[in-house]
Amino acid sequence: MTREDFSILLLTLRVASISTLVILPLGVAAGWALSRGRGAVKQIAETILALPLVLPPTAVGLLLLEMLRRSGPIGRLLDRAGVEVLFTWKAVALATAVMSFPLLVRPVRAAFAEVDPRLLGVARSLGQGRFSVFRRVALPLAWRGILAGAVLAFSRALGEFGATILVAGNIPGRTQTLALAIFHRTQIGQDGSALRLVGVVVALAFLAILATETLERRRSRSAGAPA
Amino acid sequence: MGPSGAGKTSLLEAIAGLRRATGRIAVPGETLLDSAAGVDLPAEKRRIGYVPQDSLLFPHLTVEDNVRFGLAKNGPAAARLFDEVVGILEIGDLLPRYPATLSGGERQRVALARALATRPRLLLLDEPLAALDVALRGRILPYLLRVRDEMRIPFLYVTHNAGEALLLARAVLLLREGRVLASGPVGDVLAAHRVETVDPSASFDNIFDGVLERAPEGDGVGRLATPRGTVLLVPVDPSFPLGRAVFSVAPEDVLLSVRPLEGISARNVFEGIVAGVDRFPSDAIVHVTAGDLAWRAHLTAGSVKDLGLAPGRRVWIAVKTQAFRRLR
């Protein structure tokens, strides 16, 4: 690995970590709400959340670009606050956050749905308010699902390409992540160095999948109870 | 009490605040729900302990943390309360264990301790013994009596079992299809609505109380003298004290004969008269009066027919000593 490869890897890991940490509390809240809610509102919310999974990433990227450009609805506010997002690492984090959010929410929602609502009722009858019941019963019983969702979202963030290239461009040293660098190097005929990065990506993906599988296996074996 | 689907669990959940309800629910000194006045205290403010049939212990917490879950934070009063409920329910040895490793009877004791640790003003028990086998029921009942008599916490107790009702309750509320069918002293309601209270799948134990003495018949056998002088031969365990005692015997273990019984190994043989027969599709509960005692025997429909059992018929009852279980 060259120095440049290494800095690309670091940038990718940093941006994916920030993106995952930012969406984690939001994803837990959304997963909890979706697991408890019912009716049309829940259906609509679920559909909107699932959109980034089915839309072409470039379409999501273009929508983000339109919102964030100086004349766009969010861009205007950011401009006034003096925050620059487009074509910086923040844009990479934002694009990966949006693209990986549904992958976080799904396992989180499934984990919360597995928690017996009667268990939560008993907790309330023991004098605990809703937040305390969430923190002391629902969260500890669902933590493996939450962790699995976070690993999944992190892996998705590592490989995000389509949305990222539209809002962040492909600026070496600033916004060029592993996925962008691989594309870029093949475009300029450096297949060998691109393959080196592919090796790095494969290693990362391997570790992420291994972590998820291990968590899943432990979850199904102990069915929520610590050994 | 009441048949399945009568609304017993729904009633408990409404009282606990875990199910939306309309109407009025009040305990002495406080209104929990009054739809007309817009009062609906949330479950966590009602101070009502709830012990469901399946315990519902928190699987991720140890027994100790389960019991401490609703305990007011720290302080000497909380420590005393914790020690008191752990002592009464004898779960000291279980404290470091997780619920998954407990037996059904242990789980129910822990669930009871967890509810008691919040010092509820009322305890709701939803068929706490239904998931346990008959032998275990006899071991949990004494704990319920201690909660009632030592902690003086009133409870509403859902059961299909007339024996449990007779042993634990002062008054019974009989539900059917969401309505109150009868209420009043246990004996009166059960006598008037015998069939309503019987779930064919639940046992309908015979309960006898009296004074236990050591018997000349030998080790392991005691004489239980009932208030009006019938003597039952029952098993005794050296660890249980003599004196006032309550025993139960399952109706499956009560044998009936239409001829005098001689040369039989069962040591409790009494002559009696059939007082009534509750018929179900494949089986029946036969009520027999013998001296001062009322017995219930569980027979197949075929036996009832073959023996010609009907009210007024003279019968002999036979029960083995080992069929009796001590409740307290």
* Distance from C-alpha of A186 to C-alpha of A188, rounded to nearest angstrom: 5
The values of phi and psi at residue B108, to 5°, are -65, -35
Backbone angles phi, psi at B209, to 5 degrees: -120, 155
Q: Could you give all domains of chain B from N- to C-terminal order, each with its CATH number? A: 8-197 (3.40.50.300), 206-326 (2.40.50.100)
Q: Are B255 and B323 in contact (CB under 8 A)?
A: no
Q: What pLDDT does residue A112 have?
A: 96
CA angle centred on A51, ends A45 and A54, rounded to 5°? 145
Which chain B residue has the Cα nearest residue A227?
B98
Closest CB from A118, A225, A226 relative to B52: A118
A-interface mutation test, from B46, B50, B102, B110, most A Cβ less than 10 A away: B50
Q: Is B175's pLDDT higher than 60?
A: yes
Q: Any chain B CB within 8 A of the CB of A72?
A: no
B70 in contact with chain A, both atoms CB, cutoff 8 A: yes
3-state secondary structure at position B230: coil
**What pLDDT digit, counting tens, does each position of B36-77 carry?**
999 999 999 999 999 998 899 999 999 999 999 998 777 888
Burial class of residue B194, CB neighbours in 10 A (0-12, 13-18, 19+)? middle
Residue A127: closest C-alpha in chain B: B44
* Tokens coding B151: 């902690």
User: Beta-carbon neighbour count of residue A227 at 10 Å?
Assistant: 7
- Write down the pLDDT at residue A226: 43
Contact check, Cβ <8 Å, B70/A126: yes
Q: What is the pLDDT of residues A94-150, one digit of tens each?
A: 999 999 999 999 999 999 999 999 999 999 999 999 999 999 999 999 998 999 899
pLDDT, position B186: 77
Pick from A128, A141, A224: CB nearest B70:
A128
At residue A81, what is the residue type? A
For the segment A167-222, what is each residue's pLDDT rounded down to a tens digit?
Answer: 999 999 999 999 999 999 999 999 999 999 999 999 988 888 888 788 777 766 55
Taking CA–CA distances from A119, the nearest residue in chain B reads: B56
Of B143, B151, B144, nearest in space to B120 by CA: B151
**With contacts defined as CB-CB under 8 Å, which chain A residues touch B113?**
none
Tell me which architecture the domain covering A3-55+88-222 has in CATH.
Orthogonal Bundle (1.10)
pLDDT (tens digit, 9 = 90+) per residue, B101-128?
A: 999 889 999 999 999 999 999 999 998 8
Cα separation of A37 and A24, whole Å? 20
Q: What is each CA distance from B91 to A92, B50, B58, in whole angstroms?
A: 56, 19, 16
Out of B48, B59, B60, closest to residue A125 by CB:
B48
Q: Where do the structural domains in chain A lie, given as residue ranges?
A: 3-55+88-222
Give CA–CA dist B212/B326, Å, rounded.
11
d(CA B327, nearest CA chain A) in Å: 29
B186/B9 Cα distance (integer angstroms): 20
Please report which helix (H) or strand (E) contains residue B158, including its range. strand B155-158
B contacts of A221 (beta carbons < 8 Å) = none
- Output the pLDDT for position A220: 61
A218 touches chain B (CB under 8 A): no
Residues 6+ apart with CB under 8 A from B179: none
Q: Beta partners for B299?
A: B284
CB A95 within 8 A of CB B19: no
pLDDT digits (tens, 9 = 90+) for B250-285: 888 899 999 988 888 888 999 999 988 877 777 788
Return the exposure string of A188-208: e unless at least 16 CB atoms fall within 10 Å of the residue's CB, then b.
eeeeebbeebeebbeebeeeb
Element at B326 (helix H, strand E): strand B324-326
Distance from CA of B161 to the nearest CA of A (A): 25
